[in-house]
Amino acid sequence: MLIVGAGPVGLSLAIELGSRGIACLVIEQSTEDAANFPTANNISIRTMEQLRRWGIAAQARELARDLPYGRLWMTSLDGCELARFSYPPNGNPIPQPFSPETFLWCPKPLFDPFLARHARSLGSVELRYRCRSAPLEEAAAVRGLPLRVADIHLPEALHLYQRRLTLVRPDGFVAWRGDELPAEPMALVDAVRGV
Ligand SMILES: Cc1cc2nc3c(=O)[nH]c(=O)nc-3n(C[C@H](O)[C@H](O)[C@H](O)COP(=O)(O)OP(=O)(O)OC[C@H]3O[C@@H](n4cnc5c(N)ncnc54)[C@H](O)[C@@H]3O)c2cc1C
């Protein structure tokens, strides 16, 4: 099983599969410590229940035990403070009547590597960083269309084609141009094949 992306979703899937002994390979285009923007800060109660199922809720709580947690409402980053909410620290959660777990404050730069470590500890999971899936090449391979990718760093090429990406047929016909890969690479491959 190939899983593309070692974010919370890919890693959770790997943990689910790995805990059943199903072999899977997770590929991630960036490095393991690349998550440096604090998204996914609040690990919800439901997510903590998943971690509990995997036997790692207590470890997650320990990992984030000393993180300070508060929320400020500001007019701008360096503006006036409008309101401030303080929360109990992670190490001192307030249980709710409906769940054995409490939510956790654990930003993505901590949480993703934590999930990765657990996924890797399951024998059947392999993680590869700096490894990118290439949807267009994959789509071409599925259709048996020969496709060669070339990095051309010539200003003339950019000037000529006016786009960062160009798909050229062997007869020189420019079949497609764009700045980003199309959302549906298979549709492009089929169009180039004239299907
Ligand atoms: C500002 C902000 C605040 C947020 N706060 C919260 C919060 O408090 N609580 C919460 O639960 N959620 C929060 N979220 C949402 C949360 O971050 C996302 O729901 C979560 O990260 C989604 O996980 P994911 O694995 O689907 O995607 P991602 O975390 O984006 O991971 C996808 C991974 O796939 C990799 N990838 C993509 N394409 C390829 C490729 N072709 N080959 C190899 N690798 C590839 C990417 O590099 C990336 O690492 C927040 C989001 C934002 C933007």
pTM above 0.85, yes or no: no
The mean pLDDT of 37-58, rounded to a whole number, is 90
> Which atom, in ligand 1's list, is nearest to the CA of 11?
25
Final residue before a domain boundary, out of 88, 106, 124 = 106
The pLDDT of residue 142: 85
Tell me the best of 29, 112, 136 to mutate to test the pocket of ligand 1, counting ligand atoms within 8 Å of each CB and taking the most.
29
Virtual torsion, Cα 57, 58, 63, 68, nearest 10 deg: 90
Q: What number does the ligand 1 atom closest to the CA of 8 have?
A: 25
Q: What range defines the domain where residue 174 resides?
A: 135-193
Whether residue 90 sits in one domain with residue 126: no
10 and 47 housed in the same domain: no
117 has pLDDT over 70: yes
CATH number of the domain that 11 lies in? 3.50.50.60
Q: Give the tens place of pLDDT for each residue, 146-192.
A: 888 888 888 898 898 899 999 998 888 898 999 988 889 999 999 88
Measure 180 CA to ligand 1 centroid, in angstroms. 19
Same-domain check for residues 120 and 25: yes
Check whether residue 185 and residue 91 sit in a common domain.
no
Residues 69 and 161 in one domain: no
The domain tally of the chain equals: 3
Average pLDDT value for the chain? 89
Which residue has a Cα nearest atom 10 of ligand 1? 40
**What's the rounded Cα separation, in Å, for the pair 185 and 137?**
9
Whether residue 23 has pLDDT greater than 90: yes
**Ligand 1 pocket member 185 (CB < 6 A):** no
Output 38 or 18, whichever has higher pLDDT. 18
Using one digit for the tens of pLDDT, what is the confidence trace for 51-104?
A: 999 999 999 999 998 887 788 899 998 999 999 988 777 766 778 899 999 889
Residue-level pLDDT at 118:
98
Kindly state whether residues 73 and 122 are assigned to the same domain. Answer: no
Instruction: Place 119 in a pLDDT band, splitting at 50, 70 and 90.
Output: very high
CA-nearest residue for atom 33, ligand 1, is 5
The radius of gyration of the chain's CA atoms, rounded to the nearest angstrom, is: 23
Calculate how far, in angstroms, residue 114's C-alpha sits from the geometric centre of ligand 1.
Answer: 15
Question: How far is the centre of ligand 1, averaged over its atoms, from the C-alpha of 38 (Å)?
Answer: 11
- Same domain as 69, residue 80: yes
Residues 124, 142: one domain? no
Q: Quick one: 151 and 189 in the same domain?
A: yes
- Pair 72, 81: CB distance under 8 Å: yes
Q: How many whole angstroms from 74 Cα to the centroid of ligand 1?
A: 25
Residues 182, 95 share a domain: no
Cβ(30) – ligand 1 distance below 6 Å? yes
C-alpha pair distances (Å), 11 with each of 69, 134, 137, 195: 25, 20, 24, 37
Evaluated on CA atoms 79, 81, 82, 88, the torsion sign reads: positive
